[in-house]
Amino acid sequence: MNFFLQLFKLLPPELAHSFSLKSLKILHKFRLLKYFISFDDNHIDEIEFAGMIFKNRLGTAAGLDKNGDYIDALGELGFGFLEVGTVTPVPQDGNTKPRVFRNYKENSIINRLGFNNKGIDHLLKNLKKRKYKGILGVNIGANKDSSGDQRINDYLICLEKVNKYADYITINISSPNTPNLRDLHSEANLAKLINEVDTVVEELKINIPIFLKISPDEKNESIDLIIKLVESSSIIGIIATNTTIDKSNILSKEFKVIDGGLSGEKLMDESTKKLSYIKSKSQNMPLIGVGGVLSREDFKKKIDSGADLIQIYTGFIIKGPDLIKDILGN
């Protein structure tokens, strides 16, 4: 598997991403994955979280499998849960290429993908035919050309369509790559969005957990308002955090000036600080930690900072499936 990982690193980022997932799918189809990826996880106890039973605390973050094309293959790797998306009501190409940039020396990636996906109806087809029996979350977003009330309506469309086929739903208001999306962090805008979500949840009698994924770039005062709104809504918890636009701790001058969201090692400290702050302000709020996990030590730090579950994406891209074994193995 290390040979393939090194090979993928030679390819352009998006091509490597697609090729690696398609390779996993082929290996899964012919029942060969077990010969490449195996570890003993019998020592790990199942955990109950938000009314769901997880075989372990480690899952995939949104963005790894945007369209749910690889659910069954990823589900064989040992994850305790998967999250697919971000998906929007209408298919969209995302931002212009190049839009993904890797910095292996600093274990970091910058992306400005812009919610590229095949749309909610394509994802639904994959959700309906999946064989994977583990916990599956769906991350929903808004189309780039939507604004105002239509932007909020995009979330409602996805919520209405997907709630019967997901174990939980994540409302993503924190991507830095869709213009003005992060404006939904403001008290007035978020209150309006949550009010509309509450109405749909009540009308459709939606009874699966809903999470809000937030930015690491919000000030603590903003986080306080978000916590207050979430605690009085149908949203049960927070996913902390998405990528950051702060690149002040990047050493590479060439990498520092690239527009987009930064993930990986350089996100770990700030995303964990936000996680810890939320925990200090709301002891009982269900929390999923994501951002910068590249080792078992990082995983444990997130847990110690208040996370109930942990998601990985960039670490998985950089280190491959061995990261799962490193975190969950004996």
DSSP assignments along 234-265, one per residue: S--EEEE---BS--TT---HHHHT--SEEEEG
CA distance readout (Å), 74 to 23, 99, 124, 133: 11, 24, 17, 12
**pLDDT of residue 1 exceeding 60:** no
Q: What is the pLDDT of residue 274?
A: 97
Each residue of 77-119: pLDDT tens digit? 999 999 999 999 999 999 999 999 999 999 999 999 999 999 9
Which CATH architecture describes the domain 2-328? Alpha-Beta Barrel (3.20)
DSSP string, 114-146: -S-B--HHHHHHHHHH----SEEEEEE---TT-
Q: What is the pLDDT of residue 2?
A: 62
Q: What is the pLDDT of residue 11?
A: 85
The structure's pTM equals 0.96
- Catalytic, 282? Answer no
Assign 70 a pLDDT band (cuts: 50, 70, 90): very high
Phi, psi dihedrals of residue 272, rounded to the nearest 5°: -70, -35
**pLDDT of residue 330 exceeding 80:** no
| Residue from 167, 160, 179 nearest 211 by CA | 167
**pLDDT of residue 8 exceeding 80:** no
Give the whole-angstrom CA distance, residue 35 versus residue 49.
Answer: 32
In the set 20, 146, 175, 263, the catalytic residue is 175
Q: What is the pLDDT of residue 9?
A: 74
Long-range contacts of 25-28 (CB under 8 A, 24+ apart): 25/69, 25/70, 25/72, 25/73, 27/73, 28/72, 28/73, 28/76
Residue % of the chain over a pLDDT of 70: 97
Mean pLDDT of 167-175: 97
Each residue of 184-234: pLDDT tens digit? 999 999 999 999 999 999 999 999 999 999 999 999 999 999 999 999 999
**pLDDT of residue 131 exceeding 90:** yes
Tokens 């003005």 -> residue: 180
Average pLDDT of the chain to the nearest whole number: 94
Q: What is the pLDDT of residue 147?
A: 87
- What is the Cβ-side half-sphere exposure of residue 87, based on CA atoms within 13 angstroms? 31
**pLDDT of residue 144 exceeding 90:** yes
Mean pLDDT of 246-264: 95
- Give the residue, 153 or 5, on which the prediction is more confident: 153
